[in-house]
Amino acid sequence: MNLARAYLAGLRHGWFVLGYTLCVCLTLLITAPFLMIALRSVGKGWFGRLWLPPQLTWEWYRWAIEVGNIPEVMKNTLIIGAIAVIVSTVIGIFAGWAFGRRQMPGKELLMAVVLLPRMIPPITYALGVAKIFYTLELVDTHVGVALAHVSVCAPYAILVLSATFEGLDERVLEAASVCGANTIKRFFYVVLPLIMPGILASMIFSFTHSYNEFTLTLLTYGPNTVTLPVRTYLA
């Protein structure tokens, strides 16, 4: 009996050590690129075998501020991201309600069409968007670049919010109607608080994607709408 307990205790300890080792390895795998970039940002000259810079310098940060115009680039990135988030969220709310609460023929096909921009190579889709935007003279405008981002951010918002609407309890909506709430009051006082977590999640997804979007931005930006990913590429 004691031998069996000792064996089980040793087995649990072994699994614990294995799990801890895997977590440490995964953490290093995720953080190693950031650590390398951080070292490169303050290093000058070729790195040695220990991956340590032979000389420390703040020259690259000064260059980023003075020459790279990072403050202006960050402002463009945030403005474009904010517009993309607002438009994508509004689209996501209305489309999410339709997909999540309404039974309509071909709903799965329509969802596939909505997700189409994420199913094809980004450069292929970006070339089509760029052609349309050049024709409409939307290139090098904050609204134009933001609308280009909406085309790939909105599918995330629709996907998240359709699942959120689908999870609403129909009895809560019926209770609100019985209590005399009209459609507008029912939405703002009942539905909106219930879907707020989904809205926040879709906003985070949309902003993150807009903030990091490179391909669409590269084909629709101009001197006045340089974003952080494009500026990093041009550096």
All structural domains of the chain, each given as residue ranges with its CATH number in brackets, are: 2-57 (no CATH), 64-234 (1.10.3720.10)
- Cα–Cα dist 149/206, whole Å: 9
- Cα–Cα dist 99/105, whole Å: 11
Collect all residues with Cβ–Cβ distance below 8 Å to 143 and sequence separation of at least 6: 83
Q: Write down the mean pLDDT value for the chain.
A: 85
Confidence category of residue 113, pLDDT binned at 50, 70, 90: confident
Please give the single-letter amino acid code of residue 4.
Answer: A
- Cα–Cα dist 148/139, whole Å: 10
pLDDT greater at residue 46 or residue 153: 153
- Cα–Cα dist 25/9, whole Å: 24
Q: Where are the alpha helices (DSSP H) in the chain?
A: 2-41, 59-66, 70-101, 107-114, 116-119, 122-135, 142-166, 170-178, 183-186, 192-212, 215-220, 228-234
**If you write DSSP's letter for every residue of 33-76 in order, what string do you get?**
HHHHHHHHHTEES---TT---SEE--HHHHHHHHTS-HHHHHHH
Pairing, β 43-44 against β 55-56:
antiparallel
| Mean pLDDT of all residues in 9-22 | 75
Collect all residues with Cβ–Cβ distance below 8 Å to 92 and sequence separation of at least 6: 154, 156, 157, 158, 160, 161, 199, 202
Does the pLDDT at position 68 exceed 90?
A: no
Does the pLDDT at position 151 exceed 60?
A: yes
- Cα–Cα dist 235/215, whole Å: 16
| Mean pLDDT of all residues in 155-176 | 87
Confidence category of residue 89, pLDDT binned at 50, 70, 90: very high
